[in-house]
Copies of this chain bind each other. A is one copy, B any other.
Amino acid sequence: MERREQILVAAAREFDRAGFAGASIAGIARTAGVPQGTLHFHFPTKLSMALAVIDEQNSRTFAVVSHGDGSPTAALIGASRAIAELLRTDAIVRAGIRLSLERGEFAHATASFYEQWIGGIVDVFRSAIASGELRTDLAAEQLGATVVPYFTGVQLVSEVRTGRADLFAAVETMWHVLLAGTADPRHRERLFGVVAEAFRGAD
């Protein structure tokens, strides 16, 4: 692992454990096994480290959204499964999401993170409505703007209640609620099948 990435992973572990305010530069240097001078060379401030973690988390989570030409709703279901998986296994993704839920100095960076996510998901919902998979009174903009917070809350409460042990089951229930209200009857069975398949035996 490169030195920079080694530091980033150590920073992620510390942010994930203690949050931004609670994380210490000394602790990060210790976890990374590098002198504080080396750490400052790569990241002059704790804030620059947090922003780098958020950035890297953004890349990793956006990378899982497939842009195939199959079913748009199935692509979203698959992405939610992949992000849930990352939340259970990837320290940088966990820390980035945790920092995104904090406020303070990087509030601006994290607000734009939500805008990007919502924008990306609105596009997929627009395709899903245009393709006839979803039929709803809600606009694609409203669906995107409500599904991102829904997933955010589900992963967060799962973390608090069970250390994310019930995360897959909780995301599956989320999809049941969403599809019960928005899937076109002709696509409903298939989409419920996609959900069952995605989360089967996952917990």
Contacts and interface: CB of A to CB of B under 8 A. Distances in A.
A102 interface: yes
A113 B129 CA distance: 38
Given A153-B152, A161-B115, A101 B104 contact: no
A178 B177 contact: yes
Interface residues of A, number: 45
A85 B109 CA distance: 27
Contact of A180 (B20, B110, B181): B181
A173 B145 contact: yes
Interface in A124-157: 136-138, 142-143, 145-146, 148-154, 156-157
B104 A160 contact: no
Secondary structure call for the A interface: helix
A149 to B, nearest CB: 4
Nearest to A142: B173
B157 A152 contact: yes
Given A114-B161, A161-B111, A146 B138 contact: no
Contact of A19 (B102, B114, B152, B173): B102
A156 B114 CA distance: 11
Interface string A153-197: 110111111000000001001101111111000000000000000
A107 interface: yes
Contacts of A18: 21, 104
